[in-house]
Amino acid sequence: MSSAYLHSTAAQRPLGSDDVVTTEHVGAELRRLRKAARQTQADVARIVGVARANLTQWEAGRYLPSAENARLLDDHFRAGNSLVDLVEAARSPAPAAAGTLTTGGSLLEVFRRAGAGLAGELIRDGDGRAVGWRHNLQKRGAHTTLATAYGISAMVVVGEPYLDLHSVVKDLYDRRSEFGWQGRSEGRRPEVTAAVVGALFQASTILTAEEGLAYLERSLDDRTRTRPFLLSSALRTSVRLAPDAPLTRRLTDDLLAARLDFDGVPLWGEKKEEGLVSPEPSTAHTARAVVALRELLRAGRGSDEISDAVDVATRWLVERVHPDDGVSEDLALPQPHGRPDVRVTIKHFTSAWVLQALAEAPQVPVARLSRALNSLWERYEPSRGLWAWGSGDLPIWMTLDAVTALRAVALAFPAPQFLPPSAAE
């Protein structure tokens, strides 16, 4: 890291070479540079070509600017690469603490393997231009909208610095329709639009927060209110774009209303519809809902009702003894022009979502954390640096979920056993 940052802030203890750099450090330095330049957030956002909402969330330490945006900000403030170095350090998770490993390796190496594995699967056209990723990395085939969004987001998490995603981002943006983005089937797909909007907003300036919210809202339909997966996916993206937007508040109310009563404990199942027979609470759906609501609390837009819902669900997740196995659900997608509905199977990497849900919870038992981590590592393919479903497929979303979970845990806990068991024996 450049020494320029280490001595730039009188209000903070200078960071040493062994300190863990967090998103909060980046936000504090970005805020310091802006104030030193006597500029408002609106000024800086306009000059570097981003939405003010982006800058607000970066300064608040909730998210990191992309490599491209970090460079623009560094150039604007004439920071001599110190801001670029700081963002890169914050994006790369810290190695496990001394004593955790006995045979070498680190979480950073796992992330590098994941980045290299995904980069190697990037599809290019006949001119060598990068166009995106396929859903199942184990098979040949064309790239898809949803898989490409997942690939972009995964690259943002692992901080892969050697891949130019400009053409991928532009191609993905150009695939938009009246109702946002669609998957391989027609009709409104809120989970696809949420994934694409989130990826574009993190990785580039091609999409404004206002535009992203508009597409996200148009992708929703009445059935969304019955499916916690769709609600939590849309809410998580909406919070990132604008935590105080009317859409964010509406999605929050709908997600809270989608809970079912299980012996006096309000939790999320796969769906909330009339006529359900003996529904059961779902670990995956409850964890996804907790992650989305925690985003809202982190953004300072929470309430007692939201906090209580998160606390109740988190306690249930902590006490849950059922294995954190992957689960599936079916979605019926209404098709235009009166055509029959199309059924799509959605799979959930339960352990990855449990880890994200527990990452900010107080007093999580080590045994519970380890159990979820072990489930996550059971699906890891070290030779590829990617994560596999039980069938042997390599769905790109599993790697995104895994690295997102590992990064969340790495930032929240001092020294958990991050690496797969074979690396720590």
Say if residues 121 and 133 touch (Cβ distance below 8 Å).
yes
Residue 13 has pLDDT above 60, yes or no: no
Return the residue matching tokens 């902590």: 318
Enumerate the domain spans of the chain: 3-91, 107-424
Match domain 107-424 to its CATH number in 1.50.10.20, 3.20.20.10, 3.30.70.2860, 3.40.640.10: 1.50.10.20
Q: Which pLDDT score, from 0 to 100, does residue 315 have? A: 95
Q: Among candidates 41, 48, 28, which has minimal Cα distance to 90?
A: 28
Q: Among candidates 233, 153, 247, which has minimal Cα distance to 194?
A: 233
Say if residues 224 and 190 touch (Cβ distance below 8 Å).
yes
The DSSP line for 159-227 is T-TT---HHHHHHHHTT-BTTB---SS-S--HHHHHHHHHHHHHH-SSS-HHHHHHHHHHH--GGGGG-
Q: Among candidates 341, 354, 221, which has minimal Cα distance to 289?
A: 354
Average confidence score pLDDT of the chain: 85
Distances (CA, A) of 172 to 16, 50, 83, 260: 40, 18, 28, 37
Give, in degrees to the nearest 5, the angle at Cα 387 between 289 and 356. 25
pTM value surpassing 0.75: yes
CA distance 386 to 371: 20
Quickly state the pLDDT bin for 420 (edges 50, 70, 90). low
Residue 372 has pLDDT above 80, yes or no: yes
Distances (CA, A) of 152 to 27, 132, 166, 202, 286: 22, 8, 10, 9, 26
Q: Which pLDDT score, from 0 to 100, does residue 249 have? A: 96
Distances (CA, A) of 79 to 2, 33, 56, 345: 10, 8, 19, 48
Q: Which pLDDT score, from 0 to 100, does residue 290 have? A: 98
Give the residue, 147 or 179, on which the prediction is more confident.
Answer: 147
18-24: long-range contacts (C-beta < 8 A, 24 or more apart)? 20/94, 20/411, 21/86, 21/89, 21/90, 22/61, 22/90, 22/411, 23/61, 23/62, 23/63, 23/64, 23/90, 24/61
Q: Which pLDDT score, from 0 to 100, does residue 310 have? A: 97
Quickly state the pLDDT bin for 211 (edges 50, 70, 90). very high
CA distance 124 to 378: 31
Average pLDDT over residues 388-399: 91
Residue 260, SS3 per DSSP = strand
The beta strands (E) that lie in 88-174 are given as 123-124, 130-132
Residue 105 backbone class (left: φ over 0; alpha: ψ -120 to 50; beta: rest): left
Give the residue, 19 or 84, on which the prediction is more confident.
Answer: 84
DSSP state for residue 60 in the 8-state scheme: T
CA distance 357 to 294: 8
Q: Which pLDDT score, from 0 to 100, does residue 15 have? A: 47
Q: Which pLDDT score, from 0 to 100, does residue 58 have? A: 83
Residue 423 has pLDDT above 60, yes or no: no
Q: Which pLDDT score, from 0 to 100, does residue 131 have? A: 93
Quickly state the pLDDT bin for 209 (edges 50, 70, 90). very high
Q: Which pLDDT score, from 0 to 100, does residue 335 have? A: 73
Q: Which pLDDT score, from 0 to 100, does residue 16 have? A: 47
**What's the half-sphere exposure (Cβ side, CA atoms, 13 Å) at 1?**
24
Q: Which pLDDT score, from 0 to 100, does residue 55 have? A: 83
* Tokens standing for residue 180: 């946002």
Q: Which pLDDT score, from 0 to 100, does residue 12 have? A: 40
Q: Which pLDDT score, from 0 to 100, does residue 419 have? A: 61
Tens of pLDDT along 272-283? Answer: 998 989 899 999
Q: Which pLDDT score, from 0 to 100, does residue 92 have? A: 63
CB count in 10 Å sphere of residue 18: 7
Helix (H) or strand (E) holding 1: none
Q: Which pLDDT score, from 0 to 100, does residue 425 have? A: 41
Say if residues 403 and 91 touch (Cβ distance below 8 Å).
no
Do 3-91 and 107-424 have matching folds? no
Average pLDDT over residues 392-415: 89
Q: Which pLDDT score, from 0 to 100, does residue 20 have? A: 67
% the chain with pLDDT above 70: 87
Residue 266, SS3 per DSSP = strand
Q: Which pLDDT score, from 0 to 100, does residue 418 have? A: 58
Tens of pLDDT along 41-89? Answer: 988 988 888 778 778 878 887 677 877 788 889 899 988 888 888 888 8
Residue 22, SS3 per DSSP = coil
Average pLDDT over residues 118-137: 92
Residue 410 has pLDDT above 60, yes or no: yes
Q: Which pLDDT score, from 0 to 100, does residue 105 have? A: 55
Distances (CA, A) of 128 to 125, 131, 168, 170: 5, 9, 12, 15
Quickly state the pLDDT bin for 10 (edges 50, 70, 90). very low
Record: fold of 3-91? 434 Repressor (Amino-terminal Domain) (1.10.260)
Say if residues 192 and 146 touch (Cβ distance below 8 Å).
yes
Average pLDDT over residues 161-190: 85
Q: Which pLDDT score, from 0 to 100, does residue 138 have? A: 87
% the chain with pLDDT above 90: 50
